[in-house]
Amino acid sequence: MKIFLDGEFVEKEEAKISVFDHGLLYGDGIFEGIRIYKSCVYRLDEHLERLEYSAKAILLNMPWTRQELSDLVCESCRINGLSDGYIRLIVTRGVGSLGLSPNSCPKPSLIIIADKIALYPEECYTEGLKIVTVPTRRTNAAALNPGVKSLNYLNNIMAKVEAAQAGALEGIMLNDQGNVAECTGDNLFIVHKGVIFTPHASNGALRGITRQAVIDLASSEGLQVKEVNLTRYEIWNADECFLTGTAAELIPVVGLDSRAIGDGSPGPITQKLHAAFHKEVSTHGTMI
């Protein structure tokens, strides 16, 4: 495997960053997780746009154009012979001093990893996940805007640990008001009486690329989607529930906090959207 690191492709064993990189020292940087299906980098332009938005939000000046980044992502896939898999695009603040100030970091670092990923076992996609609500709350949007996909994921990691301690593969994170924000790495949707609901981004949810793709697909299928405030009560009493994410794709949820959702099996709308999603992923994007 070859990793793109600051201007060149190197063997993964040689892909090293400085211990003074602020991405390592402080989680000071941003990233995107991107999928490639049948040589099509899915919604690459949308991912690069979100990367630009994240960079602007944290005052990180990126010296690369969107086209340059697109070309490097595609070349990373080609050089590794990857036609189906996962790409991690990382921009750190770069090397600086031990102080907090980013003024000591004159040049950001760019890392691109093209590899495989399997977030959940295959049977979870056919049978559904049983998940839990975790104690760790989502970082308040007033502290860090959820639109910034930053390298500091400790909040999500602690929630993931708590879910695992409860015997679950995924956990729901609430915000300070007790409303559902998102899961540890995925956006959440429910279906109730034929209408699809998802937490509004202001509740602490990332504006996921797959989340938006599913909203678009639902609209094209004549389904109504509403962004609202959700509590666990609405999820417990939903007819269906599913999660979306670049790594997770679209996966059904059949239980929350020891309560069955619907009849305890993946629902028809979830299955319909799952099929529609997999139909578009190899055509909606950038061919390598």
Residue type, 154: L
Strands (E) in the chain, as ranges, are 2-5, 8-11, 29-37, 40-42, 85-92, 109-115, 129-133, 171-174, 180-183, 187-192, 195-199, 225-228, 240-245, 249-256, 259-260, 285-287
DSSP β-bridge partners for residue 31: 90
Nearest to 41, CA basis, from 288, 272, 215: 288
149 is catalytic: yes
Task: Yes or no: say if 220 and 266 are a contact pair by the CB < 8 Å rule.
Answer: no
Question: For helices 44-57 and 209-220, what crossing angle results, to 10°?
Answer: 130
What would the two tokens of residue 115 be? 């590899």
Residue of 149, 193, 226, 279 marked catalytic = 149
Catalytic residue positions, numbered: 149
